[in-house]
Chain A
């Protein structure tokens, strides 16, 4: 179990002090695949580097299985880093060493005899499905293959925790999927706790069971992924969960309209022709601004953004009608939050195409 208690980190920059993390408290249970998501600059990378003490927290503590990592000696921290290993966005393989030698590196640092290290590295390359690339150099590999080698290297010291710092951000969607599959398999078969740092909601959605949303150095929301997805509360979470809140919405004059957000839980709710029946039953013709569905842990979640034309009476009628429907939650007068980057737009397009 990893506990972050009241963790803060500030940097001294030429523009004055910068608070990268502000009083972050989180608990990551053994066996979790824990997502930490936020826009760039939210403090995700600093947070993950505090967990293995690559960055020393300015305040607060990191407790790993009851041990306060901040109190350990340098040597003890180096030992801990063999149990809390890390993979990176840019893979960070040694470019002048073969894949096998890359995987052998942590073993050699652990003073394992060369022959044993070689054997173990070979077995690890088989775990990540790349035994045929043992003697190839990283420059000869694709990005996905390089990340697999990096994963094999991170597993070499039999870690208990694997930190993934934007591990799939440099990969295409298909490769991302296969790397996430591999991570899930590692989590299941080896029981390794995985902490995933990402700016892509689709990554959290695909493998995480719990998630924390980081915004400007603060955790604004934390909980089970399915719960966060079906009922996001903080503005930063909504911006991530509802990727339809993009600049394109300006053309609707969205901020001046009566907006209703519907969230469907379960396939039965999502399959009902709700908007059509509302038009027939109470004469309110809603304008569908966007609609998406996601699958989380085998359960279908749909969400729809409606514009209710007319006045307050029509809005009240629509809200009344929609609230009466089981498995549907509604939010009226949805806040309109323009997003800064379009990281998830691809996913939106894909999901829209699925429907």
Chain B
């Protein structure tokens, strides 16, 4: 134990660690937030409509779609969700290059992140929408609403608290994925922890990065939970 402390936390290491924290932490926290928020935004833009289609297009949904199409969508989602993220990054490099013009750097991390996260978001949205009381959907159809009117006027508004909870789960998961951005030359706190901390035997940097990541997750989760609760009119007395 003593030797562990002397190896990793001697004054020399701590001074170097402080240097890294002082010069890089703020900027790298910004990079992490940028990558996370952009990836979450695009994952929701793709995942939300896809989740809606999974529910409405189901054989028992309000507008069943052809079975082969639904099987394809479900298969694609399951395939993408089962691939490890680090493999996706490598496999998707040509696509990344086609979209952002390069296969390395912060912007290049966002592409595989979105592709890894949108199927996850679609499943979360699917779960949220399936919670909507089927009687209320029937009510909407009984007053002459179309499928899309039912989605926009009834299903989505009724599931807002649940959707907020789902998106909170998504953003914290995506934040965790950003640690792997270093694999394609992206930045961020996770990358900093690995390159400056683990690879240079400076545990203090690793721990400091970890603490900031934990704080970020806590903030996202607290804000998300608060918003979900505040938006839920079923609880308002």
**Contacts A90-B135, A96-B233; is A81 near B157 (CB within 8 Å)?**
no
Assembly CA distance A95 to B160 (angstroms): 11
Contacts of A86 in B (CB 8 A): 139, 142-143
Q: Is the CB of A105 within 8 A of B233?
A: no
Tell me if B23 is interfacial: C-beta within 8 Å of chain A: no
Which of B100-108, B144-152, B182-190 lies on the face that meets chain A? Answer: B144-152
Closest to B233 in A: A137
Which of these, A52, A93, A95, A139, contacts B142 with CB under 8 Å?
Answer: A52
* A106 cross-chain contacts in B, Cβ below 8 A: 143-144
- Interface of chain A residues 125 through 166 with chain B (CB within 8 A): 137, 139-140, 153-154, 157
Closest to B159 in A: A96
With the chains together, A105 CA to B160 CA distance in Å? 17
**Quick check: B143 and A94 within 8 Å, CB to CB?**
no
Contacts of B153 in A (CB 8 A): 105, 108-109
Binary contact track B132-173/A, C-beta < 8 Å → 1, others 0: 010110110111111001000110011011000000000000
Q: Which bracket fits the contact residues of A?
A: 20 to 34
Given A96-B160, A96-B233, CB of A54 within 8 Å of CB of B142: yes
Assuming the A-B contacts A109-B149, A137-B233, A139-B235, are A92 and B135 also in contact, with contact meaning beta carbons closer than 8 angstroms in the complex?
yes
Task: Pick the contact of B234: A81, A82, A105, A139 (CB < 8 A).
Answer: A139
- Check A140–B236 contact: CB distance below 8 A: yes
In the complex, are the beta carbons of A157 and B236 less than 8 A apart? no
B182–chain A nearest beta-carbon distance, Å: 42
Contact A95 B158 (CB under 8 A): yes
Q: By the criterion CB–CB under 8 Å, are B138 and A92 in contact? A: yes
- Distance in angstroms from A109 CB to nearest chain B CB is 5
Mark each residue of chain B from 104 to 142: 1 if its CB lies under 8 Å from any CB of chain A, else 0. Answer: 000000000000000000000000000001011011011
CA distance A139 to B236 in the complex (A): 7
Q: Which of A257-294 contact B (CB under 8 A)?
A: none
Instruction: List which A89-133 residues lie within 8 A (CB) of chain B.
Output: 90, 92-97, 105-106, 108-109
How many of B's residues come within 8 Å of A, CB to CB? 25
Q: B192-237: which residues lie under 8 A (CB-CB) from chain A?
A: 231-237
**Interchain pairs with CB closer than 8 A, number:** 73
The answer to whether A88 and B135 touch across the interface, beta carbons within 8 angstroms, is yes
Are A157 and B158 in contact, with the CB atoms below 8 A?
A: no
A96 to B133 CA separation, bound complex (whole angstroms): 12
Per the bound structure, the CA–CA distance linking A79 and B232 in Å amounts to 32
> Hey, which chain B residues are within 8 Å of A95, CB to CB?
158, 233-234
Choice from A79, A94, A137, A157 contacting B154 with Cβ under 8 Å: A94
CB-contacts of A54-104 with B (<8 A): 54, 77-82, 85-86, 88, 90, 92-97
Given A54-B141, A54-B142, A108-B153, CB of A92 within 8 Å of CB of B233: no
- A-side contacts of B154, CB under 8 Å: 94
Interchain CB contact under 8 A, A94 and B236: no
What does the 1/0 interface line of A11-53 toward B look like (CB < 8 Å)? Answer: 0000000000000000000000000000000000000000010
Contacting residues, chain A, for B160 (C-beta < 8 A):
96
A96–B236 Cα gap in the complex (Å)?
10
Partner of B136, one of A78, A80, A94, A137: A94
Contact (Cβ within 8 A) A140 B237: yes
Q: In the docked arrangement, what's the CA distance between A157 and B143, Å? A: 9
Q: Please give, as numbers and ranges, the residues of chain A lying within 8 Å of B138 by CB-CB distance.
A: 54, 88, 92
Q: Output the residue of B135, B144, B146, B236 with the most chain A CB within 10 A.
A: B144
> Smallest CB–CB gap between B93 and chain A, Å?
43
Which residue on chain B has the smallest CB distance to residue A108?
Answer: B153
Extra A-B contacts (7), CB below 8 Å, given A137-B236, A140-B236:
A80-B144, A81-B144, A92-B136, A92-B139, A96-B157, A109-B145, A157-B144
**The 9 A-B residue pairs with the shortest CB-CB distance in the complex, in nearest-first order:** A81-B144, A92-B139, A78-B144, A137-B233, A86-B142, A106-B143, A82-B144, A139-B234, A95-B234
Please list 9 pairs of residues, one from A and one from B, whose beta carbons are closer than 8 Å in the complex, sorted by A's number.
A52-B142, A78-B145, A79-B144, A88-B135, A96-B160, A108-B153, A109-B143, A109-B149, A139-B233
**What is the interface of chain A, defined by CB distance below 8 A to chain B?**
52, 54, 77-82, 85-86, 88, 90, 92-97, 105-106, 108-109, 137, 139-140, 153-154, 157
